[in-house]
Amino acid sequence: MRISRKYAFVAAAGVLLSVSAVSGAQAQDSGTAPRYQPEMVRALATSLGVSEKAAVERLDQQAAQQARLAGLAKSGISADGAFFDAAGKLTVNADDAAEAKKVEEAGLAARVPARGETELDRIKAKLDTLAVERVPAGVASWRVDLVSDTVTIEVNSDRGTAAKAFLAEAEKYGSAVRIVRGQEELVPQAVIYPGSRMTFNGFICSVGYGAHDRNGKQYLVTAGHCVQDLPVLSYDNARFAKATDTRFALGSRSVDMGVAAIDAGNSIATSVGTWGNSSPVAVRGSQRAASGAALCKSGQTTGWTCGKVDSYNVSVTYTDENGGPDTVVTGLGSSTVCTEGGDSGGAYISGNQAQGLTSGGPTGQQCTGGVNSRGSSYFQPLDDALSYYGLTLNTN
């Protein structure tokens, strides 16, 4: 995390070079382009212990189920959250048995949860407010977890007064809250590829995605902590952009998104680099993947690593390794994708849909297993950043 001038970091998306998304893997017929990025398919096959053919089938099934989910709202069928289970089946939360029957008739699995996403969001919002009043140092993260139908809180240490007060308030919600202890401290990570490295004022960070406003002006969307002081950004020792806004502020409740205006004559590519694992992957859109969906990221430090989406609406407490105040960041996504310091701003992709930007992860995490390194990380959802800044993603 770029918290002081003493901490160098790099982002992870193609600066002028390559911002990308994940395309697919299997060539369908000889001479035709693959549906999915090949490395994602291999990584998914390895992690599931299945053939690459079965992995492609799973991606196809996920895409089909997500399309049916999108069609529910158009049909007037409400859904209170949805998630993929370990078998790749999408389950939709329904308000009651009648709604569940409609969901099943639409070809999807349904359940009537004890709480559901709306109620869990309400509980988490109250915890967010509490955390703003007093940062709960030692409480690593808290999130809405649809699979367990709880607000899940991960704790590094509950010895501090603020942490004890936070957990005591959380426990008042009974079984709606699940507390997991023994977690590592979290720090935001910054160190640039869908691409290359981005530098500023002696620091390094990663480039995220290219986007444009209604007038066609070009912007870089990246992790907010990477552009905290609104610096001039350089690629290969030459200026290419100037940061214009960030929602990250050390020691304050923050959102880890920021933007920079791209200088005339420069551009960010619409494909994500895979660090030698395959050809760059074209960005086709930014439709948010459901929890449990396959996910890969491109980053300066750890390259191309893959896993799956865990949860959305996650809040974390980031620790400043340089002794500064802790910072609560809200609105993140969590994943099983391994990252390390210097990956901040890196591009997350599911299928060929851009998902987000690396925000942070556990302090001592090491991604030594290549593409399939086991680990965890947090990312700023791209669709939220695009919406907030009124931008449209540049697609291939």
Burial group, residue 144, by CB count within 10 angstroms (0-12, 13-18, 19+): buried
The catalytically annotated residue of 80, 149, 206, 225 is 225
Q: Which two tokens stand for residue 365?
A: 């995490």
The question of whether 225 is a catalytic residue gets the answer: yes
Q: For residue 290, which of 146, 108, 100, 106 has the smallest C-alpha distance?
A: 146
The secondary structure of 170-215 as a DSSP string is: HHTTGGGEEEEE-PPPEEE-----SS-EEEETTEEEE--EEEE-TT
Q: For residue 277, which of 5, 20, 37, 32 has the smallest C-alpha distance?
A: 37
The continuous run of DSSP H or E covering 58 comes out as helix 52-74
The catalytically annotated residue of 145, 149, 256, 310 is 256
The catalytically annotated residue of 291, 335, 344, 377 is 344
Q: In whole angstroms, what is the distance from residue 159 CA to residue 180 CA?
A: 15
**With contact defined as beta carbons under 8 Å apart, do 327 and 320 qualify?**
yes
Please enumerate in sequence order all residues whose Cβ is within 8 A of that of 366, keeping only pairs 6 or more positions apart, or say none: 340
Burial 363-392 (b: 16+ CB within 10 A, else e): eebebeeebebebbbbbbbbbbbbeebebe
Residues designated catalytic:
225, 256, 344
